[in-house]
């Protein structure tokens, strides 16, 4: 039986505009999510060209039990390191659902 690990997710929301009209973001309170599967990077992930030029440092699989909300711009703390979510991952709905995980989240370690 597969068992995931615990991660801490910090999402953010728009909190108005600055004088130049750009959005100002504010962090939401951190949330602990249990049973998240962690895939480490492969050479294909590191060497793959991404549209925004960011490499994937690891991939997470969130459980269906987590109430989905956008992770765009979110930070995830895992194994003592902080990562930034790449893009805006969307859950898999409907069809065949053979596992209890339905959201794939790619992460980038901004420490370089």
Express as a percent the part of the chain with pLDDT over 90.
70
3 or 35, higher pLDDT = 35
**CA 59 – CA 37 distance, rounded (Å):** 8
Q: Are 25 and 76 in contact (CB under 8 A)?
A: no
Average confidence (pLDDT) over 63-70: 93
The secondary structure of residue 29, as a DSSP letter, is P
Query: What pLDDT score does 99 carry?
Result: 82
pLDDT of 62 over the 70 cut: yes
Of 101, 98, 8, nearest to 61 by C-alpha is 101
Query: What pLDDT score does 45 carry?
Result: 46
pLDDT of 44 over the 60 cut: no
pLDDT (tens digit per residue) in 7-27: 999 999 999 999 999 999 999
Long-range contact list for 9-13, CB < 8 A, 24+ apart?
9/33, 9/71, 9/74, 9/75, 9/76, 10/74, 10/75, 10/76, 10/77, 11/69, 11/70, 11/71, 11/73, 11/74, 12/73, 12/74
pLDDT of 54 over the 90 cut: no
Query: What pLDDT score does 28 carry?
Result: 96
pLDDT (tens digit per residue) in 73-107: 999 999 999 999 999 999 988 766 678 899 999 99
Q: How many CB atoms lie within 10 A of CB 9?
A: 22
């Amino acid at each position: 039986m597969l068992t995931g690990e615990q991660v801490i997710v910090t999402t953010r929301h728009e909190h108005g505009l600055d004088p130049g009209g750009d959005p100002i973001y504010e962090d939401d309170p951190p949330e602990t999510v249990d049973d998240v599967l962690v895939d480490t990077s492969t050479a294909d992930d590191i060497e793959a060209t991404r549209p925004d030029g960011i490499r994937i440092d690891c991939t997470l699989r969130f459980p269906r039990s987590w109430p989905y909300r956008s992770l765009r711009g979110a930070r995830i703390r895992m194994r003592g390191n902080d990562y930034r979510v790449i893009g805006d991952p969307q859950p898999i709905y409907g069809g065949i659902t053979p596992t209890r995980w339905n959201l794939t989240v790619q992460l980038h370690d901004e420490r370089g």
